[in-house]
């Protein structure tokens, strides 16, 4: 492994403790001691990249870092030879996910609409893993999704993990160039199309996994066939809030159907709720919300209660890596544990209607359908 590349969490390591936090790897306690190269690198990573560890007080003021490990990644999986795509990889949860995967030796394709030059350089610096690639992906454009998928298929011979993390909360815009609502397109229609376009590569690499970031706001949806591509004319916060919930609920519905249709292929599909996380979504929310009282309330909630992005990435990484979940499909995870789904997720007739309407909206070709 030497100086050029050191895997962060490969199985030769015994867990070490730093600032009250440790990876719970008791099953590997008989491995070489903490002075192994990988453990030394892990310490180096923590010193250089504070974003890769939980801060002393978590995210908000009232959130202390939990003492138990049940809501954290405990997998010791080494990802040398594996390839992952992470959307929304430039910041927040996506960036932390990239950092975690890269530190395990994974080849990571960072996909985002933003310039990722600096974030890529930081990942390489913190992990000593040069196998990091950036690709432009604008989920607000169906053509961009197709171009991205085509590029990946041409350049990659395997895909072990597709992590759909990118998303937005609310926006002032009401329509994209495709005639779709931006929140629905970025959070749902775009990932739906992307999964379909990359499914053959995922099957080729099986066992492989698809993990998508949903939200607890999915429980506050009013999704129907009529408002699948909703028209935000009122501009009211409650309507925009429900629109976000609709996009995240639709993502759960689609993921469940994909999981069912991929049975026997070795490709699993699940969704997660990352928690209430202080990410770049929040400042953007302020610029859209014009109600001063509501704006102030959101700001205080963010400062006091939210998780930091590192904590927010834990469930996402857990579902992408845990060997205990190799054959688990169609589940919704919260704090690394399965959780109940929003009402309506088990209504097969309704879910199939949403699925069929989505196929038409994203213009799936017959050969692209599952």
Mind telling me the catalytic residues?
244
Instruction: Tell me how far apart the alpha carbons of residues 187 and 171 are, in angstroms, rounded to a whole number.
Output: 12
- The count of other CB atoms within 10 Å of the CB of residue 281 is 18
Instruction: Tell me how far apart the alpha carbons of residues 224 and 254 are, in angstroms, rounded to a whole number.
Output: 14
Q: Are 98 and 165 in contact (CB under 8 A)?
A: no
Buried b (16+ CB within 10 A) or exposed e, 224-233: eeebbbbebe
Residues 6+ apart with CB under 8 A from 161: 82, 83, 84, 85, 101, 106, 208, 209, 210, 211, 320
- The count of other CB atoms within 10 Å of the CB of residue 241 is 15
Q: Are 21 and 145 in contact (CB under 8 A)?
A: no
Q: Are 86 and 322 in contact (CB under 8 A)?
A: no
Q: Are 269 and 255 in contact (CB under 8 A)?
A: yes
Buried b (16+ CB within 10 A) or exposed e, 258-278: bbeebeeebbbbbbbbbbbbb
Q: Is 354 helix (H, G, I), strand (E, B) or coil?
A: helix
Q: Which segments within 154-218 are labelled E, that is strand?
A: 161-164, 208-213
């Amino acid at each position: 492994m030497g100086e050029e590349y050191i895997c962060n969490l490969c199985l030769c390591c015994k867990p070490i403790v730093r600032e009250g936090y440790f990876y719970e790897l008791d099953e590997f306690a008989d491995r070489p001691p903490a002075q192994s190269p990988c453990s030394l690198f892990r310490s180096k990573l923590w010193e250089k990249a504070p974003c890769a560890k939980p801060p002393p007080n978590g995210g908000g003021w009232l959130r202390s870092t939990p003492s138990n490990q049940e809501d954290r990644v405990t997998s010791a999986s080494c990802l040398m030879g594996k390839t992952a795509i992470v959307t929304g990889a430039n910041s927040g949860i996506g960036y932390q996910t990239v950092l975690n995967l890269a530190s395990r030796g994974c080849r990571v394709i960072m996909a985002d609409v933003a310039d990722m030059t600096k974030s890529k350089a930081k990942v390489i610096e913190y992990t000593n893993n040069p196998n990091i690639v950036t690709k432009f992906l604008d989920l607000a454009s169906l053509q961009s999704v197709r171009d991205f998928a085509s590029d990946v298929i041409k350049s990659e011979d395997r895909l072990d993990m597709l992590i759909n993390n990118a998303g937005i909360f609310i926006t002032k815009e009401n329509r994209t160039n495709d005639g779709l609502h931006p929140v629905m397109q970025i959070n749902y229609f775009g990932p739906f199309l992307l999964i379909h376009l990359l499914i053959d590569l995922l099957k080729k690499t099986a066992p492989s996994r698809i993990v998508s970031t949903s939200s607890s706001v999915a429980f506050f949806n009013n999704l129907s066939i009529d408002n699948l591509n909703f028209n935000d004319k009122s501009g009211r916060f409650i309507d925009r809030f429900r629109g976000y919930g609709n996009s995240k609920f639709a993502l759960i519905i689609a993921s469940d159907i994909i999981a069912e249709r991929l049975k026997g292929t070795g490709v699993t599909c699940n969704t997660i709720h990352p928690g209430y996380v202080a990410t770049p979504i929040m400042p953007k929310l302020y610029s859209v919300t014009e109600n001063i009282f509501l704006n102030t309330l959101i700001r205080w909630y963010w400062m006091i209660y939210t998780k930091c992005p590192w904590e927010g990435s834990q469930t996402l990484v857990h579902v992408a890596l845990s060997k205990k979940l190799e054959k688990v499909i169609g589940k919704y995870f919260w704090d690394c544990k399965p959780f109940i789904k929003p009402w309506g997720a088990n209504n097969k007739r309704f879910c199939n209607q949403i699925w069929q309407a989505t196929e038409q909206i994203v213009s799936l070709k017959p050969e692209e359908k599952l």
